[in-house]
Amino acid sequence: MKILLITPPLLQPNTPYAATPLLTAWLKSQGHDAVQSDLSLNLLLKLFSREGITALSNELGIPLEEAGPYLETIDPVLAFLQNRNPDAVSRILKRGWLPEGEHLARAYDMENQLGWNFRGLEPEDRARYLASLYLDDIADVAAELDPNFGFSRYAEKLASSLPAFEPVRDELEQGDSLFFQWLEELTDHEMRRHAPEMVVLTVPFPGCLLGALIIARRINYTCAGVKIVMGGGYVNTELRQLSDPAVFDYVDYITLDSGFLPLKQLAEGGTPVRTFKRENGAVVFQTSEMEEVRHADLPPPDFQGLELDDYFGVFETLNPVTRLWSDERWNKLVLAHGCCWSRCAFCDTSIDYICRYDPADPAVICDWIEQVIAQTGFDGFHFVDEALPHDLVDGLCDELLRRGLEIEWWGNIRFEKRFSTGLIRKMADAGCIAVTGGLETGCDRTLKLMRKGITIAHAERVLTDLAEAGILTHAYLMYGFPTQTEAETFQTLETVRDLFDRGILHSAFWHRFALTAHSDLSLHPDKYSIAVPPHEPAAFALNEIAFESEFDHDPGRIGYALERATYNYMLGLGLDRQVEEWAEY
């Protein structure tokens, strides 16, 4: 069967998302004619072009004299960010060549106030930073035309809390912005080019849902009879209790969890596996017991059909770790299905993508790495596992070193004591340049309540060893967790300040706690001193749910202080200020 797999808008444009290369490779291995397309990238390429700027200006009535500087600079700037135009560095660095919107002007203002020479960036990196802010200014103008537009997400707020499908249907049927038109044109092009019998839409995040359904609607209109399947991370977490049949006006099937078996069965007309469809006007869920595909038995990702040279990075913050997500070109690879820990109280531990742990062998992973390098020509890897297990990392490093495979890689770990000093040194020798991890809090009491399986002392030792080995570190942090006090929250901020001051933490990000439907917290609220009020059953999406808990502070107000302080810490500022002072601003 001819199958087209599509990444819908919007995702970060620096590297292909992991889903379609994995699914394409699997379907090909099963004898199907699978092809793929990244319409998220293509939509951004449409915007960031002379054609796109012209259309945007015409729609908004922007005079030519205002649009002209962008029309003259957009093509060379984008080519520079695609690593195709190194000669643009000198022009970008000459102030006045790039037109200055709010983002770019603010960067120059900060430079003038602090006099820090853009933190000592080399000329090419400084040019990438300025060029990225220039694109941010264009993206802000695009959002004036269509408020749903965000640089790496589309209609995210619309899809973030959707107990009913009606708001999405209304947006689909009433929306007629330039982005709708462009996405329909791009869809038409791919359908003419490939003439598939089945289209698969991966929806990893809420900010991809509306884009996926715009594509589906267009295919239904122009290519009646083509079967449309939707799956991905958003579907797996939020649509598990789907009962609203209206979404099937746009897609034929919705699959849950790992897509390998469900897609194979649909393509071959076999017994459905974890699949929703509409039957006699109602939603039905069909599945059968089949042995899951072992992770080690999967082929390496297949990037054929993706125009790798068209991807472009953006460098919007002066932080070396956060830059990894958006600027560098990485081959995304999954070493193990699921999470090796799978016990955190706030996590979706009852869902397959967390609870079913299935690692590949180090030798198999290195085979994948070699084949991916041969395909793409890139030797940088982002291992996108939920949490890289210490024993698998140990074996992988041994195998990389044994084969003499020289790569750069990074991924998410747990700051647990089993990441020994020796293992961390070996990681650095084997090409590890950065790690991220969930520190969550600076208080052992709340870590124990969260069931993190780490202590502050263990985490500090791991972070110290990582920094001494030359590995950059990023911590995920949480506030507003049930029973967490104001004193414990500022204790966490003091821990974070100290880690930055010692140079063993290089980046951090705060999340406000959200109760999700598939976590241990929601399944056993009494254990965590929370109450979950009765709520109407969700016919469409269900993930975050309301809860009641007593706090001795306002989590919303303190969240702003935490974010402001940590932003300054990442710039090396405010480290001598008492942490409580941030709440006064």
Query: Which residue from 162, 137, 561, 523 is spatially nearest to 346, judged by alpha carbons?
Result: 523
Are 507 and 459 contacting, i.e. CB atoms less than 8 angstroms apart?
Answer: no
CA-only gyration radius of the chain, Å = 24
Q: Which residues pair with 96 in a beta bridge?
A: none
**CA 158, CA 206: separation in Å to the nearest integer?**
8
pLDDT value, residue 528: 94
pLDDT value, residue 151: 66
pLDDT band at 253 (very low <50, low <70, confident <90, very high): very high
pLDDT value, residue 153: 60
Using a pLDDT cut of 90, give the percent of the chain over it.
87
Query: Which residue from 340, 341, 337, 332 is spatially nearest to 352, judged by alpha carbons?
Result: 337
Q: Mapping DSSP to helix (H, G, I), strand (E, B) and coil, where does residue 270 land?
A: coil
Distance, first Cα to last Cα, the chain = 60
**CA 268, CA 251: separation in Å to the nearest integer?**
18
Q: pLDDT at residue 26 above 90?
A: yes
**CA 321, CA 334: separation in Å to the nearest integer?**
20
Least confident of 105-109, 157-161, 374-378, 412-416: 157-161
Query: Which residue from 120, 109, 93 is spatially nearest to 571, judged by alpha carbons?
Result: 120
pLDDT value, residue 154: 56
Q: Which residues pair with 198 in a beta bridge?
A: 3, 227
Are 403 and 440 contacting, i.e. CB atoms less than 8 angstroms apart?
Answer: no
Query: Which residue from 425, 433, 336, 346 is spatially nearest to 387, judged by alpha carbons?
Result: 336
Segment 416-434 mean pLDDT: 98
Q: pLDDT at residue 6 above 70?
A: yes
pLDDT in tens, 316-354: 888 889 899 999 899 999 999 999 999 999 999 999 999
**CA 473, CA 5: separation in Å to the nearest integer?**
34
Helices (H), 161-249: 166-174, 178-194, 209-222, 233-238
The type of residue at 114 is L
More confident residue, 65 or 79: 79
Handedness of CA 385, 389, 392, 393 (dihedral sign): positive
Q: pLDDT at residue 157 above 90?
A: no
Are 140 and 101 contacting, i.e. CB atoms less than 8 angstroms apart?
Answer: yes
The CA-CA-CA angle for residues 488, 492, 496, to 5°, reads 165
- Which two tokens mark 415? 């700051």
pLDDT value, residue 120: 74
pLDDT value, residue 111: 76
- List Cβ neighbours of 246 (8 Å cut-off, separation of 6 or more): 165, 166, 169
Could you tell me how far CA 198 lies from the centroid of its own chain? 26
Mean predicted lDDT score pLDDT of the chain? 94
- List Cβ neighbours of 176 (8 Å cut-off, separation of 6 or more): none
Q: What is the DSSP string of 52-112?
A: HHHHHHHHHT--HHHHHHHHHHHHHHHHHHTTS-TTHHHHHHSTTSS---HHHHHHHHHHH
pLDDT band at 571 (very low <50, low <70, confident <90, very high): confident
Are 141 and 1 contacting, i.e. CB atoms less than 8 angstroms apart?
Answer: no
Pairing mode of beta strands 408-413, 380-383: parallel
Q: Which residues pair with 336 in a beta bridge?
A: 359
pLDDT value, residue 509: 96
Query: Which residue from 456, 321, 339 is spatially nearest to 388, judged by alpha carbons?
Result: 339
Are 20 and 5 contacting, i.e. CB atoms less than 8 angstroms apart?
Answer: yes
**CA 361, CA 366: separation in Å to the nearest integer?**
9
Residue 134's H or E segment, with its range, is: helix 123-145
Would you say how long the chain is, in residues?
A: 585
SS3 content of the chain, % helix, strand, coil (to 5): 50, 15, 40
Are 301 and 25 contacting, i.e. CB atoms less than 8 angstroms apart?
Answer: yes
Helices (H), 362-443: 362-376, 390-403, 421-429
Segment 417-423 mean pLDDT: 97
Greatest CA separation for the chain = 68
pLDDT in tens, 108-146: 887 777 666 666 789 999 999 999 999 999 999 999 988
pLDDT value, residue 85: 97
Residue found by looking up tokens 């039957």 in the block = 279
pLDDT in tens, 159-217: 567 899 999 999 999 888 999 999 999 999 999 999 999 999 999 999 999 999 999 99
pLDDT in tens, 472-511: 999 999 999 999 999 999 999 999 999 999 999 999 999 9
Handedness of CA 309, 314, 319, 322 (dihedral sign): negative
From its phi and psi, is residue 89 left (phi > 0), alpha (psi between -120 and 50) or beta?
A: alpha
